[in-house]
Amino acid sequence: MNNLQGQRYNEDKIRLYEIWKYIKKRCCKSKCEEYKKYGSEGITICSGWKRDYPTFKIWALNSIYGKDLVVGPIDSDDNYEFFNCQQIVQLENAKKGLKHGGSRTRLYDIWCNMKQRCYNPGAENYKYYGGKGITVCPEWLNDYIAFKTWALANGYKEGLTIDRIKSNGNYEPSNCQWITQEENARKASKNLKRKGKEKSCSL
């Protein structure tokens, strides 16, 4: 890394730190000018980011952070959490309305939980998903509307759950379907039996 590259890298790190501090202020500091639009409306910053800047930095850098980008909520009625944030061009952040009206629906919860188990090491089932390299396709990762559009066009109904057709494949349109909880349980049972047989054969 030459001197100019190093200088830009340090500038980006400083700017990212300032973004982190500003998000905390607007959510937690009543004296902040924007607190009434955020903290006073119940919008918070997740505990992992609030207490630990390195955790926020890792998320930002893994999300292709750039000096011309700012962190913005996907659903402006919801909290600052890694599954509800994206990095967007500052001009778009000022002009674009990010509300989609889905933050209190079951489908939105499915979308959030899908990302949690793939990208949050603290999630209960992370070791079975993100820990094994399972990811969410870029089309869905930061765009709930794209996920919702696919879901409604491909048979989503209340009570159904998302299923990966190939259990070692990623969450993407070509590898996902909607099934009942009972079907999901039967499939999980078959996978466990198959893995048990494979393990016994290898002994």
**Each residue of 3-38: pLDDT tens digit?**
444 444 454 567 788 888 888 888 998 888 888 888
Pairing of strands 176-180, 160-164: antiparallel
Question: What are the structure tokens assigned to 139, written together?
Answer: 């089309």
Q: State mean pLDDT over 127-148.
A: 88
User: Taking all residues of the chain, what is their mean pLDDT, rounded to a whole number?
Assistant: 77
In sequence order, the 6+-apart residues with CB closer than 8 A to the CB of 37 are 26
Give ∠ CA 94-100-101 in degrees, rounded to 5.
130
Q: State mean pLDDT over 132-137.
A: 92
Q: Could you say which DSSP state residue 44 is in?
A: -
Q: Could you say which DSSP state residue 174 is in?
A: G
User: 14-18, 64-68, 195-199: which range is least confident on average?
Assistant: 195-199
* 38 within 8 A of 31, measured Cβ to Cβ: no
